[in-house]
Amino acid sequence: MSSAYAVNYHLRAHKRDTFIEFIKSLLLNPFVLHTRIKDPDHSAWSPLGPPGTIQALQAAQTTQTTQTGSGLDRDLDRYCEVLECIEELIVDHIHNHEQGHPELSRLVQLVPSIGRFYTPLPLKTAFLKVNKARAIAARRNVPPSFNDIRYILNSAQVLAIHPALRLVTFDGDMTLYADGADFERDSQLVGLIIDLLKHGLHVAVVTAAGYPGNAARYEKRLSGLLEGMRGSNLGSVCLERFYVLGGECNYLFQYNAASGSLVYIPEESYQSEAVKCWSNATDRITDLLNIAQANLESYRTELGLTDDRAFIVRKPRALGLCAAPGVKLTREVLDECALGVQKTLNNYLYLGKLKAAARGDASWVSIPFCAFNGGNDMWVDIGNKLIGVQILQQYLGTHGHETLHLGDQFLSTGNDIATRSACCTIWITSPEETAEVLNDLRDLLESRA
255 DSSP β-pair partners: 262
In this chain, which of 75, 87, 148, 171 binds Mg ion, going by CB under 5 A?
A: 171
Q: With CB under 6 A as the contact rule, which of the stretches 22-30, 167-175, 187-195, 433-441 interacts with ligand IMP?
A: 167-175
**210 lines the binding site for ligand IMP (CB under 6 A):** yes
Asked if 380 and 292 count as a contact pair (C-beta separation under 8 A), the reply is yes
Buried b / exposed e along 199-222 (16+ C-beta atoms within 10 A):
bebbbbbbbbbbbeeebebbbebb
171 is catalytic: yes
Shortest Å distance, C-beta 397 to Mg ion:
27
**Which residues from 168-197 bind ligand IMP, rule CB under 6 A?**
171-174, 180
Binding mask 376-415 for ligand IMP (x = CB under 6 A): -x-x-x---------------------------------x
Residue type for position 87: E
205: helix, coil or strand? strand
378 DSSP β-pair partners: 321, 373
Write out the H or E segment, with its range, that includes residue 130. Answer: helix 123-134
Binding mask 128-167 for Mg ion (x = CB under 5 A): ----------------------------------------
Shortest Å distance, C-beta 55 to Mg ion:
56
Shortest Å distance, C-beta 172 to ligand IMP:
3
Given ligand IMP, Mg ion, none, residue 335, with its beta carbon under 5 to 8 Å by kind, binds none
φ, ψ of residue 358 to 5 degrees: the values are -65, -35
Given ligand IMP, Mg ion, none, residue 315, with its beta carbon under 5 to 8 Å by kind, binds ligand IMP
User: What Rg do the C-alpha atoms of the chain give, in angstroms?
Assistant: 25
**199 lines the binding site for ligand IMP (CB under 6 A):** no
Residue placing its CB nearer to ligand IMP in the complex, 199 or 315: 315
Asked if 448 and 201 count as a contact pair (C-beta separation under 8 A), the reply is no
Contacts of 189 (CB under 8 A, 6+ apart): 176, 183, 225, 431, 434, 435, 438
Binding mask 9-48 for Mg ion (x = CB under 5 A): ----------------------------------------
Shortest Å distance, C-beta 18 to ligand IMP:
23
Shortest Å distance, C-beta 282 to ligand IMP:
17
Active-site residue (options: 17, 148, 173, 377): 173
Is 269 exposed, middle or buried (CB count within 10 Å of its CB: 0-12, 13-18, 19+)? exposed
Q: With CB under 6 A as the contact rule, which of the stretches 24-32, 67-75, 208-216, 418-426 interacts with ligand IMP?
A: 208-216
Contacts of 33 (CB under 8 A, 6+ apart): 78
**Which residues from 225-264 bind ligand IMP, rule CB under 6 A?**
247
**209 lines the binding site for ligand IMP (CB under 6 A):** yes
**402 lines the binding site for Mg ion (CB under 5 A):** no
Q: With CB under 6 A as the contact rule, which of the stretches 18-26, 83-91, 206-214, 304-312 interacts with ligand IMP?
A: 206-214
**335 lines the binding site for Mg ion (CB under 5 A):** no
**Which residues from 317-356 bind ligand IMP, rule CB under 6 A?**
318, 320
Nearest to 122 by CA among 150, 144, 77, 154: 154
Considering only the C-alpha atoms of the chain, give the largest distance between any 2 of them, rounded to a whole number of Å: 87
How many CB atoms within 10 Å of residue 336?
18
**17 lines the binding site for ligand IMP (CB under 6 A):** no
Residue placing its CB nearer to ligand IMP in the complex, 90 or 404: 404
Query: Distance (Å, rounded) from C-alpha 207 to C-alpha 246?
Result: 5
Please, what is the Cα angle at 351 between 417 and 296, to 5 degrees? 60
5 DSSP β-pair partners: none
Instruction: Provide the CA 89 distance to its chain's centre, in angstroms.
Output: 21
92 is catalytic: no
Shortest Å distance, C-beta 241 to ligand IMP:
20
**374 lines the binding site for ligand IMP (CB under 6 A):** yes
Query: Distance (Å, rounded) from C-alpha 101 to C-alpha 95?
Result: 9
CA dihedral (109, 115, 119, 125) positive or negative: negative
Query: Distance (Å, rounded) from C-alpha 244 to C-alpha 315?
Result: 19
Query: Distance (Å, rounded) from C-alpha 245 to C-alpha 271?
Result: 13
**289 lines the binding site for Mg ion (CB under 5 A):** no
Active-site residue (options: 75, 148, 171, 381): 171
Residue placing its CB nearer to ligand IMP in the complex, 156 or 174: 174
Task: For strands 318-323 and 310-315, give the pairing.
Answer: antiparallel
Site residues for ligand IMP per CB under 6 A: 171-174, 180, 207-210, 247, 315, 318, 320, 374-375, 377, 379, 381, 415
Which residues are designated catalytic? 171, 173
Could you list the residues that contact Mg ion (CB under 5 A)?
Answer: 171, 173-174, 408
